[in-house]
Structure 1
Amino acid sequence: MYNTLLLLLIIPTLTSGQPGKCDQTPPQATVLTPSENKGIYTMTIDMKSKNQNIYRPDQTYVLIVTSNDVKRPFKWFMITVEDPEVDNSSYEFDHRSVDVGSLKTLDTNRQSRYSERCYNSVENTDNTDKYRVEIHWVSPKQSDKKQRVRLRAMVAENSEVWYVGENLTIELGKDTTKPLDSPPFPPVDSCNLCSEARYEVIFKGHWSRMSHPRNYPIKPDNNGYSHLVGASHSYKYILWQEGDKASPGLKKLAEQRDISVIEREIINAMSVHNGTRTLIRGKRRDHPYMFEPSHSLFRVDRIHHLFSLVIAMKPSPDWFLGVTRFELCTELGWLESHELPLYPWDAGTMDGISYESATSSTQPVDTVDRVAVGSFDKESPFYQMNLNDLKPFGHLQVRRLDVYPLVGDDCVEGINEHEGSQEQEAGSENVEEVIEEPLIQAIKQDPSLQEDNCALSEWSEWSKCAPDTGYCGMGTQLRSRYRNDRKVYFETYQDQEDFQDGYKSQANMAANCRQKQDGALIESQNCFVDCL
């Protein structure tokens, strides 16, 4: 009987303050009406932006409550974050049903604690005189585009004088502008351009002790970027995307800088009518050559008018740079050029707070998301840092080299394209002189091939010798041919460094042809690369 009675007394105390609007009246107050605040006490928020009335999702902001009179300290305070719509809701409105972010107390600041009276609130821990209190607010990670948030503070000088309302309330709307690393145009499901285009993409890394000094790796000689890897692809194809779980290929790339699996995923998705068209591959850059650019060339068409790519960082738990679903087809024709900054993403497969921290597999596996910018762990390179403060880890530049009209293609454009390959000829020639890229494979429609003719084509030239391990030693060369009933074939571009998976992908494509016992479609032979 005694235990039952005690339980009944405790439960209302801990939960009665949860639903509805938080009552910030100090428990010690003998006067239940707040006094008029004439600017003595204020709450401000450090937005680090020109617009002080908006917040960016999943960012850390500093709330500062101050006394502007050296003779008027405050003893008690309370700060609450809530949905402004709570004013129009019933008493039973539950704050937990709406994401308004969260308040965080600082390890070095023992003046505050999480409130037991109200949900998503912090309050004082003692009765000492205070002139300034700082609290961190982490904005909502995901919220409706129209989501607004209200931050309210209460300060009390004593049991008879306390303040709320004006100067102690901040209301913010969500920033709907695109992040700095967003592509310039949203993806479109249909591209009506009667042409194809050839592009160059260049990655330049900027990660260094000077630009990102906090917890920079102790042994920078081990630092590096993986190969740049990606694809030009159709609207429905997704290489990676925020909020999705990482594919096995992205997992292996982000954790080990190994591109073999993600390349195979891209090659297996090659299709004339959907999926991927060109495999993008750029050189791997290790210390001390991390700031040298990595190049690749690729093609796009009316079906495959987007591209996505990734670059892993070493050392890191599972962090990578990249862009996803970059749209190149615009109302004015193929995009001419664009440059955008790159910031780290987290593949969600490994736990680890810093570049060199001990890691373990994330259980359960999380989704792809931004790295923990604004982390409250001091070992994090992004400790209490806003994304606006973070310098880019690299830049990605994409520029159009050529446009190829589709002669005889039955299509109607919405506009006239005044794009020609001549305008880029000089630049293209210069590019070819300086770029030493891999053999990149891309599929293309070939209307001249007949379905009923299953004869084999002539063998291609042998590919360059690709070492089995490392950069020299024993390796393998490949050559291939195709059955003429296939309606697709592979274009080969000399792009960056020796590459053979494109040849191997022809074997995958050939599986779609009806089976005939008339010889192999791909052959290999041993070779050797001198270790100079």
Structure 2
Amino acid sequence: MGNLKILMWLGLVSAALACELNPGPGVGSKSPGDNHYRLIVNGEVERYAPDQRYVVTLVGSRTHDVVQQFAGFKIILDPLNPDTRRAPSKQGQFQLFADTLTKFDEECTNSVVEADDLPKTEVQVMWKAPPAGSGCVLLKAMVYENASRWFAEDGQLTKRICEDTSLSIPDCCACDDAKYRMVFEGLWSPQTHPKNFPTQALWLTHFSDVIGATHPKNFTFWGEGQLASDGFRSLAEWGSVGLMERELRQHGGLLRSIVKAQGLWHPRVNSNTSAAFTVDKKRHYLSLASMFGPSPDWVVGVSGLDLCQKDCSWVESKIIDLYPYDAGTDNGVSYMSPNSETVPRERMYRITPMFPEDPRAPFYDPDSKTMAPMARLYLTREKLISKSCDEETLLALVAEEEENTQTVDKPEVDVCRLSASPNIGSSIGRSVQSEIENDLPIDLQSASQ
């Protein structure tokens, strides 16, 4: 029994040493300060929403003359109270992007390190925040330039981020739930957007399947200034919703409805598709997106549309024009641009007649301040579902999936034709296939047409 206690104690000491922020043996003493390196959470977030995902970026100074580079790094999650144990249930957990820059540190819980010793200017990891009631968390980093220059914990290499407790206060006073019908209408055509319209690949023009959810205020999966997850990248570049849907389902009871509608393929690009969804007083925001292609990584949709009104009623109907957004995952500037991954990913932005300022861009038109919408969204409230304001509903534990049942013919793609045509390139091939995966357990509610 005594030997077992000694082994357990040695194991705890070993784990504690493995989590120390240093490059390991054979290096000089830590350099003071942060040398302008810093940790950034989703831009400059100071408070986290429980169970929400955030992008953590470790980056150095960037000027016209100097871009700082480093060979190694380590990012860890620590409790604010040193007596509290380190655990994903207390400080959340890291998740890796699909790149080759990062890997988990096998010797330290909640720790990410470099995957190689090549020079880096920036690294990113995803952090899933801990559940409600977890309090404050410390994100700490070590940056290794060489054996005599490394920095850790000082200055902006430690970031304290605390739970946003205000999010638990309902911001909607409606008692009843509301069921809506969403109709997505495609408007994009050679007549509405004639510049460089991909007429040579007309058979591939389409809007992908629509994917989205109804959710609380503190949830988001796409929008202006955000960084795309792997699932959103898959949607924006390939028109594939499977991974994005799985990412949404991981949030479970945080969502009220998962919204899905089939895509619109040539020659039905200018027709419509629909789905139903439900909102309640806690989850009254709608976000959804659809890729249009062929394109590098362009989407249309809405993000965080509030359907609850200040007078405690639900919006009866709404019509929203949809404009293009760049997902920040591909460098292409035209419909037919070949694949060119953006590393690291950039923040999503609205495409306008003035930006990006590139004559090759199909929407660039310095003589115009307006743009015709790519698509249009029609929202209609179908019914109210009577609920008591103090009633606890079991639906809070389950996300519904509500999708349309109409059949949309999608073209069969001639792979040989793609590979034999040098003008089409891989950017079209990636926008050809749209997948629907229903492999996760979820309550199904099919919306009748």
TM-score normalized by the length of structure 2 = 0.51
| Cα distance per residue 1:353-380 (max 9 Å; x no partner) | 1111223011221101012632443221
User: Equivalent residue of 1:220, what SS?
Assistant: helix
Following the alignment from structure 1 to structure 2, what is the Cα–Cα distance between the partners of residues 294 and 502? 19
CA distance in 2, matches of 1:269, 1:295: 24
Task: Find out whether 1:245 has 2:245 as its counterpart.
Answer: no
Match of 2:71 in 1: none
What are the equivalent positions in structure 2 for 1:47-126 lying under 5 Å apart?
none
Residues 239 and 489 from structure 1, CA distance in 2 versus in 1: closer, same or farther, beyond 3 angstroms? closer
- The answer to whether structure 1 residue 397 and structure 2 residue 378 are counterparts is yes
Instruction: Determine the C-alpha separation between the residues in 2 that align with 1:380 and 1:221.
Output: 21
Quick check: 1:189–1:235 contact (8 Å CA) kept in 2?
no
Q: Which residue in the other structure is 1:313 paired with?
A: 292
1:505 to 429, 433, 441: 441
Return closer, same or farther for 1:354/1:191 CA change in 2, 3 Å cut-off: same
Question: 1:212 matched to which residue of 2?
Answer: 193
Name the structure 2 match of 1:155.
none
1:345 is matched with which residue: 295, 312, 325? 325
- Aligned twin of 1:336: 316
- Out of 404, 407, 416, the residue aligned to residue 495 of structure 1 is 404
Q: CA deviation at 1:318?
A: 0.2
Q: What residue identity is the alignment partner of 1:308?
A: S
Query: What residue is the counterpart of 2:413 in the other structure?
Result: none
Query: Cα distance 1:239–1:376, how it changes in 2: closer, same or farther (>3 A)?
Result: closer
Residue 221 of structure 1: how far off its partner (Å) = 1.2
Alignment partners' CA distance in 1, 2:400 and 2:376: 28
TM-superposed deviation, 1:338 = 0.6
1:279 aligns with 2:258: yes
Residues 261 and 273, structure 2, Cα contact 8 Å, conserved in 1: yes
The partner residue of 1:381 within 345, 357, 362 is 362
Could you say what secondary structure the match of 1:261 adopts? helix
Question: How far off its partner does 1:489 sit?
Answer: 5.2
Unaligned runs of 5+ in 2: 1-63, 65-168, 408-434, 444-449
Structure number with the bigger relative contact order (C-alpha 8 A, sep ≥ 6) is 2
1:244 CA drift (Å): 1.2
> Does the 8 A contact of 2:256 with 2:399 survive in 1?
no
1:285–1:294 contact (8 Å) kept in structure 2: yes
Shift in Å, 1:388 = 3.4
Q: How does 1:115-194 map to 2 (within 5 A)?
A: 190-194=171-175
**Alignment check: 8 A CA contact 1:267 1:505 kept:** no
CA contact (8 A) 2:294 2:336 kept: yes
Deviation of 1:501 after TM superposition, in Å, equals 5.3
CA distance in 1, matches of 2:188, 2:353: 16
Q: Deviations over 1:295-353 (max 9, x none)?
A: 01000111111110001011000000010000001023000011011110000000111
TM-score scaled to structure 1, two decimals?
A: 0.43
Q: Which residue of 2 aligns with 1:84?
A: none
Q: Following the alignment from structure 1 to structure 2, what is the Cα–Cα distance between the partners of residues 350 and 489?
A: 35
Q: Aligned partners of 1:266 and 1:387: how far apart in 2?
A: 38
In structure 1, the residue matched to 2:344 is 364
Please give the residue correspondences for 1:414-433 in structure 2 after superposition, counting only pairs within 5 Å.
none
Identity of aligned residues (%): 30
- Residues 15-65 of structure 1: per-residue CA shift (max 9 Å, x gap): xxxxxxxxxxxxxxxxxxxxxxxxxxxxxxxxxxxxxxxxxxxxxxxxxxx
- Rg larger in 1 or in 2? 1
Call closer, same or farther: CA 1:315–1:305 in 2, change over 3 Å.
same
Q: Is 309-318 or 234-243 further displaced after alignment?
A: 234-243
For residues 367-408 of structure 1, give each alpha carbon's deviation from its aligned partner in whole angstroms, at most 9, with x where no partner exists. Answer: 01012632443221123346733111111111100001214x
Q: 1:288 to 1:351 in 2, by over 3 A?
A: same
Q: Is 1:445 aligned to 2:377, yes or no?
A: no
User: What CA distance in whole angstroms lies between the structure 1 residues aligned with 2:183 and 2:372?
Assistant: 19
Counterpart amino acid of 2:360?
E
Is the Cα contact below 8 Å between 2:257 and 2:400 reproduced in 1? no
- For structure 1, the residue ranges without an aligned partner over 5 or more in a row are 1-95, 97-187, 412-443, 448-486, 508-532
3-state SS of paired residue (2:221):
coil
Amino acid in structure 1 at the alignment position of 2:440: K
- In the alignment of these two chains, the number of paired residues is 246
Deviation at 1:496, TM superposition (A): 2.6
